[in-house]
Amino acid sequence: MSVIVSRALPDARDGLKPSQRRILVAMNDLNLGPASATSKCAGIVGETMKRYHPHGDQAIYPTLVRMAQEWNTRYPLVDKQGNFGSIAGLPPAAMRYTEARLSPIAALMLEDFKMDTVDFVPTYDEKGTEPTVLPSRFPNLLVNGAQGIAVGMATSIPPHNLGEICDALIHRQETLSFLGFPMAR
């Protein structure tokens, strides 16, 4: 049951489900940062499936598309090019026609990735490793929200404005003292 829960519910530390995390890591492996050219989504899906997620493209491509849709994600983690569907419910184009790269916010989530800041576990085929969580500098769970349904439990966290989240953190004395700022009087 813990496998079902871990796949269906996001991790509170980075706000991502394993499939989302694996796509972002695969895009990072392909050097698809915000300054790079976009790459065919079919290649991204193939790389994700090959290295991290052996469950088929039927799960990977819709997850990639959802992370790029601004009506589903307040601050998209994927910078899209091409037809990624519409708010009216029109489906996205096939993955061979669409392109993507990491958004600047996703790049922030991956910035300290190679600096031994998170734990890694073996991949499904034990030929590599993958992170258990991303070393996010961005409060993804609070800002983009999350939805998930697992056996006997569910979550639905609404998205919040990034500026309001930052203001709330700055006004908390606990946060300021933790970060080493002098206490306000």
Whether the Cβ atoms of residue 60 and residue 52 lie closer than 8 Å to each other: no
Contact between 10 and 146 under an 8 Å Cβ cutoff? The reply is yes
CB 63 within 8 A of CB 44: no
Which of 52, 61, 75, 97 is flagged as catalytic? Answer: 97
Catalytic status, residue 97: yes
Q: Which residue type, as a one-letter code, is found at position 16?
A: L
Nearest in space to 107 (alpha carbons), one of 33, 39, 162, 54: 33
Q: Burial level of 121, CB count in 10 A (0-12/13-18/19+)?
A: exposed
Catalytic residues: 97
